[in-house]
Structure 1
Amino acid sequence: MNNLYILLTLKVLLLLLPGYTNGQQNAANVAGHPRLILLKGEEKALIEAVKADRYKLKVHNEILAECEEILGTVPVERIKIGMRMLSASREAMLRIFYLSYAWRMTDDKRYVERAKEELAAISLFSDWNPSHFLDVAEMTIAAAIGYDWLYDELSPAERTQIRDAIRTKGLVPSLNSQYNWWLKATHNWNQVCNTGMLMGALAIYEDDVELADQLIERGKESIKLPMKDYEPDGAYPEGYMYWGYGTTFNVLFINTMERAFGKAYDLSSTPGFLGTASFMQNMTGVTGDSFNFSDSDLGGVLQPAMFWFAQKTDNPSLLWVEREHMVKLSANVREDNRLLPLTLIWSKDSDLQAMDPPKNKLWTGKGKTPVALMRSSWVDSTAIYVGFKGGSPSTNHGHMDVGSFVMESDGVRWAIDFGREDYRLLEAQKINIWKFDQDSERWGVFKYSNLAHNTLSVNGELQNVKGHAPLINFSETADSTTATMDLSTLYPQLTALKRKITVANAENVTISDSYAGGATENTIRWSMLTDATVKLVDGMHAELTKEGKKLLLHVNSPHDISLKTWATDFDYVGNETVIVGFELKIAPHQAGDIVVQLVPCR
């Protein structure tokens, strides 16, 4: 009797534990295979949606064409480059996701058989490189999609092999404190790694409910940390490229939860998260290139998460830029497009053929990295575009580019940003680029310093890594847009420094810097990086020429300066670069304004 009483008491206590209760609910409600993203039987509606829209059909055909190329390759191999195996993980994800999609959409046996070869290959890897856990996360997603989507086509032995690999090489290492530091991170590592563990756990859910529930509940709490970075407006601190990485996986986490358990999972109600789609839309210039501040690449690429946001917010104009990327897809179908099938799954109910352009010409966001994104038109190919940023060099992947901007007109980007340096090359030279202290080796890399950006330098010194430039004012009228950042804390040599940028009448851009000097004499350097040919007309004027177009750079004030150029010894998309600007000596406590206009010559 006593033993029975003890057993009953233990069962009651277990039911009262949050994790146990969630586990029972999850076990009762989880969908059958396939349960990740695209559920069983949903292929038919997706096929019809693809056929009815020429943009979707183009993407679909590009995926199938890539699958044909994959059929002629050998399975992915475990190759490390430096400390990373990420290239192998990403290649596996692309191949398995594309082939599994192609199988479900066409019933062509060649695709499923080839996907099984890839799954067998990665299952036999000695490990998935847990010391660089992004590698594990992306490989786990690859294996999870293949296992779940091809479940009915796998033999019992194949299921066992893949399931064991997901568990031992993917999920279990995430319990090791040596590898799971990302659980407390506030950046893209958290988003990607938690999504990998969630998808792996759900793929093999019924075979290890206890482990799966533990990882699901852990991920639901942990992923809230990076989602706070979107507050208050949706500006993403790490810039264009890492928005595409972190946010896409964050959306994948939310969507995976909702599809697997058949109910809303309202992480998307976090302040700023839904607004971040507008941030990303406006981060692409008129040329189609991105505002590539910090560690970002220049080229704009198709962003699957934007299709989820468009459906979630019932705002098809969010896809205005993405539709153009769909048209250009064949030129770079493999370039960062391993999650390409998501664009079709998440746009199933969107009409991409009938769409109005966005309305606002100014988008601003505050938070860790404030931005002001301005343009004179969404439909004029000669329109002016300006991307302007504040924030701090200490932000993850940050540069000393606070106050910097890019500028376009007449289909040309005149004021440019180098964007990221190749991490592997720097790491191979034993340069520690992942510390963000004032004396970090990171700032010895020219492309990371303020001297390489379209901002100010004082006495040739670095910006203060502990400084932060907030967005303090902005406005939009029928004829102009303007925004102001307070850069004062970036320059301790000065008492105050504020930068205002105005796009006026679709005719010019004015950069105004208001300064107040410090206790000693200082030299302010104003600089703009360009890959145009620069002709110094006189001390106050320079003429920039590129692609048969011209831009006039005119210094309105002060009048005691002389424009000059500085060499960079670096190329930008194959073009030689140069810095144009000037230096200004200011007396102790002197206050004044620096005003420069950029005027397209039409």
Structure 2
Amino acid sequence: MDHLIRWWRGAALPLFLVMLLQTGVVSKLFSQADSVTATAVVGDHPRLLLRENEEKNIRANIAADPVWQRMHKAILEECDKMIPVPPVERIKIGRRLLGKSREALRRLFFLSYAYRMTQDKKYLDRAEKEMLAISAFSDWNPSHFLDVAEMTMALSIGYDWLYKKLPAGSRAVIKTAIIEKGLNPSLDPKNNGWLKVEHNWNQVCNAGMTYGALAVYEGDPASSRGIINRAIKSIVRPMEEYAPDGAYPEGYGYWGYGTSFNVLFLQALNKCFGTDFGLSKRQGFLKTASFLENMTGPTGKPFNFSDAGERGGSLQPALFWFASSLHDPALLWVARDRLLKDDFAAFMNERLLPGVMLWNDGIKINAITAPKDLIWVGRGRTPVALMRTSWTDTSAIFVGMKGGSASVNHAHMDIGSFVMDAQGVRWAMDFGAQDYESLESKGLQIFGRTQDAQRWTVFRYINQVHNTLTVNGQQQLVKGYAPITGYSRQPSFLNATVDLGEIYKGTLVKALRGVAIVEGKYVAVRDEMETADTPVTIRWTMLTPADAKITGEHTIELTQKGRKLLLKVAASGKVVMKTWPTAPPHEYDAANPGTVLVGFELAVPAHTKAFTVVSLLPGNDSVTAVVSPLSKWPSAK
């Protein structure tokens, strides 16, 4: 353990940590990790992501495609804007330094790329200035370890990529900071709970620590191997969450976080050791690129369930790694559209953007063809079904539906919820995330996963404002789980079904939902319920940005941007059509302007079977919508 104690030398260590190190308790973190052995050779700097002289491959890709020429130029122009800007400062927002860590990673990844591609000293000098300023911080906020992870990765990329050109004195300062403010705090049990979790924290923190260990590897190979082997063993936990089909439990936004850092981790291993030790072959992981691509509708908006944003306009550099690894350019169809149509200035806030240049594999953007499948279904902790009538028609119908559980990290009580695009606009929407600091600053504990957690006092998180059912005004059961039970690729009746029984256990004996695109013309949502010993009132809601008008006993007309959609209900009993405001009930809730909840209520007696069918008819109220019982729906289990 001497090498670990050396790493801690000079820090003001609590006595119990010194005792842990000396008695070998901490060594248990490393005792079973031997993927990287003592004979491993990592090679000279630069060793992270882009080896020496590999710039020539990027230059060849730039020369061969005008899109990559534009991207390269845009990155350099962004770096030029950074030159006069002061380095980031250690300013926390609430309990987080994360915003500064992310900006540091953006700047140092961009600037390091710019120097390696141009050899222009202005980029080297500016990156050195940034790294020295960050190295002088008192710490990188280890109490919220994501901050440390991203800051460590930022300095590690800059240190490694610019190593041979940095003055010796600067190298020493930066290396010491990586060790003392990045790697050492990860050995403290009070900071490294992320080693045992199954979500994005594990992926991001293990990636950051691995980059730090690889950057300073030659100084103490044994300690670096310990950090890397610990990560290889630990990161299996979140990678298991992609099984069996690639659906990422935390949704669209956190796919961009957790999966991107997972890819950075795997690529670092491959570059340094020639292998990722079989990690990328774990069940479901390589399939997850299809999950992300199918999550975007023809409006360009994602299915933003859980804590995700409504906008989907940024690029995901990790997708280029998947497309290259799988030799499947069709995975970049959505990215292709953005690269051909969007102003590249919109991408400059993506801190991992240089990864697009590293991983595009010379793909000709104009040669990318559309995916063939019109439906994608992923089982797992948060199962989803994503279906559409076309990949190339911007007016196509798109529906995304989810099952799962509110107990998943970052989940909402949105089990059974769906979104819908048609006619180039989104009709059924999701609020998505609320800024964490806006809630935490009011004293809320928003990451609890129990039924009585404060999280479920937040308006945007509860089932009453999602496109699902509410029974007797009650919240969905957090411990329940809803699997997708079947689906069909039949073009005239694309559909998926989900069993919501556990979500409403105690009030309903049975709760099934099916969502279908019928004849490529409209969407049908069929719910089948059976009540227990007491009567219930079932509330069916759909959140929309459209103007809503109740036009009959079974209809609501929605209008937006000169387009119309008719919501038409058939049911086993009398329904009461309703709209509900989305004004937040608490002062800590985010405002929700320009939205309304539409739907109906249905009273169902005890011991009764009931059904509702909601037809969502884009621009056409003349269709006679008839949808058979779910047991008759075509289905592949």
Q: TM-score, normalised by structure 1?
A: 0.95
Structure 2 distance, partners of 1:185, 1:586, is: 42
Structure 2 distance, partners of 1:374, 1:430, is: 40
Deviation (angstroms), 1:18: 7.3
Map 1:99-498 → 2, pairs under 5 A = 99-263=111-275, 265-300=277-312, 301-327=314-340, 328-335=342-349, 337-492=350-505, 493-498=507-512
Give the direction of change, closer, same or farther, for the CA distance of 1:18–1:391 in structure 2 (3 Å limit). closer
Deviation (angstroms), 1:562: 2.3
Give the direction of change, closer, same or farther, for the CA distance of 1:22–1:537 in structure 2 (3 Å limit). closer
One-letter amino acid of the counterpart of residue 351, structure 2 = R
Structure 2 distance, partners of 1:601, 1:20, is: 62
Aligned length: 583
Give the direction of change, closer, same or farther, for the CA distance of 1:429–1:176 in structure 2 (3 Å limit). same
Give the direction of change, closer, same or farther, for the CA distance of 1:329–1:134 in structure 2 (3 Å limit). farther
Instruction: Choose which of 602, 607, 626 in structure 2 pairs with 1:584.
Output: 602
Aligned residue for 1:78, secondary structure, equals: coil
Q: Which is worse superposed, 463-472 or 265-274?
A: 265-274
Deviation (angstroms), 1:54: 2.2
**Percent identity between the two aligned chains:** 50
Instruction: Choose which of 593, 599, 602 in structure 1 pairs with 2:611.
Output: 593
One-letter amino acid of the counterpart of residue 374, structure 1 = M
Structure 1 distance, partners of 2:196, 2:32, is: 21
Deviation (angstroms), 1:329: 5.0
Structure 2 distance, partners of 1:361, 1:247, is: 24
Q: Deviation per CA, 1:223-270, whole angstroms, max 9, x where unpaired?
A: 000000000100000000000100010011111000012345321110
Q: Which residue of 2 aligns with 1:548?
A: 562
One-letter amino acid of the counterpart of residue 585, structure 1 = A
What RMSD in Å do the two structures reach over aligned CA positions?
1.6
One-letter amino acid of the counterpart of residue 612, structure 2 = I
> Which blocks of at least 5 consecutive residues in structure 1 are unaligned?
1-16
Contact 1:569 1:577 in 2 (8 A): no
Give the direction of change, closer, same or farther, for the CA distance of 1:432–1:247 in structure 2 (3 Å limit). same
Q: Which is worse superposed, 516-525 or 324-333?
A: 324-333
Structure 1 distance, partners of 2:208, 2:451, is: 34
Structure 2 distance, partners of 1:61, 1:73, is: 19
Structure 1 distance, partners of 2:463, 2:35, is: 53
Deviation (angstroms), 1:62: 1.8
Give the direction of change, closer, same or farther, for the CA distance of 1:22–1:439 in structure 2 (3 Å limit). closer
Structure 2 distance, partners of 1:491, 1:520, is: 13
Deviation (angstroms), 1:561: 1.2
Structure 2 distance, partners of 1:136, 1:185, is: 17
One-letter amino acid of the counterpart of residue 567, structure 1 = P
Give the direction of change, closer, same or farther, for the CA distance of 1:178–1:572 in structure 2 (3 Å limit). closer
Contact 2:491 2:520 in 1 (8 A): no
One-letter amino acid of the counterpart of residue 594, structure 1 = T
Instruction: Choose which of 514, 520, 528 in structure 2 pairs with 1:506.
Output: 520
> Which blocks of at least 5 consecutive residues in structure 2 are unaligned?
1-30, 621-637
Structure 1 distance, partners of 2:426, 2:472, is: 29
Structure 1 distance, partners of 2:537, 2:592, is: 33
Contact 1:67 1:98 in 2 (8 A): yes
Structure 2 distance, partners of 1:21, 1:566, is: 57
Structure 2 distance, partners of 1:245, 1:258, is: 20
Structure 1 distance, partners of 2:280, 2:66, is: 30
One-letter amino acid of the counterpart of residue 242, structure 1 = Y
Structure 2 distance, partners of 1:240, 1:38, is: 28
Structure 1 distance, partners of 2:591, 2:215, is: 42
Give the direction of change, closer, same or farther, for the CA distance of 1:573–1:44 in structure 2 (3 Å limit). farther
One-letter amino acid of the counterpart of residue 551, structure 1 = L
Give the direction of change, closer, same or farther, for the CA distance of 1:485–1:143 in structure 2 (3 Å limit). same
One-letter amino acid of the counterpart of residue 489, structure 1 = E
Aligned residue for 2:296, secondary structure, equals: coil
Contact 1:510 1:597 in 2 (8 A): yes
Aligned residue for 2:576, secondary structure, equals: coil
Deviation (angstroms), 1:569: 1.7
Give the direction of change, closer, same or farther, for the CA distance of 1:578–1:265 in structure 2 (3 Å limit). same
Structure 2 distance, partners of 1:240, 1:263, is: 28
Aligned residue for 2:498, secondary structure, equals: strand
Structure 1 distance, partners of 2:276, 2:191, is: 31
One-letter amino acid of the counterpart of residue 83, structure 1 = R
Aligned residue for 2:486, secondary structure, equals: strand
Instruction: Choose which of 70, 73, 84 in structure 1 pairs with 2:85.
Output: 73
Contact 1:23 1:209 in 2 (8 A): no
Contact 1:311 1:349 in 2 (8 A): no
Structure 2 distance, partners of 1:45, 1:330, is: 22
Deviation (angstroms), 1:447: 0.5
Q: Deviation per CA, 1:183-222, whole angstroms, max 9, x where unpaired?
A: 0010000000000010000001001112101001100000
Deviation (angstroms), 1:592: 1.7
Q: Deviation per CA, 1:81-117, whole angstroms, max 9, x where unpaired?
A: 1100001101111111101101111121111110110
Structure 1 distance, partners of 2:484, 2:272, is: 41
One-letter amino acid of the counterpart of residue 65, structure 1 = E
Structure 2 distance, partners of 1:235, 1:65, is: 36
Structure 2 distance, partners of 1:568, 1:21, is: 53
One-letter amino acid of the counterpart of residue 238, structure 1 = E
Contact 1:393 1:465 in 2 (8 A): yes
Contact 2:450 2:478 in 1 (8 A): yes
Structure 1 distance, partners of 2:272, 2:223, is: 17
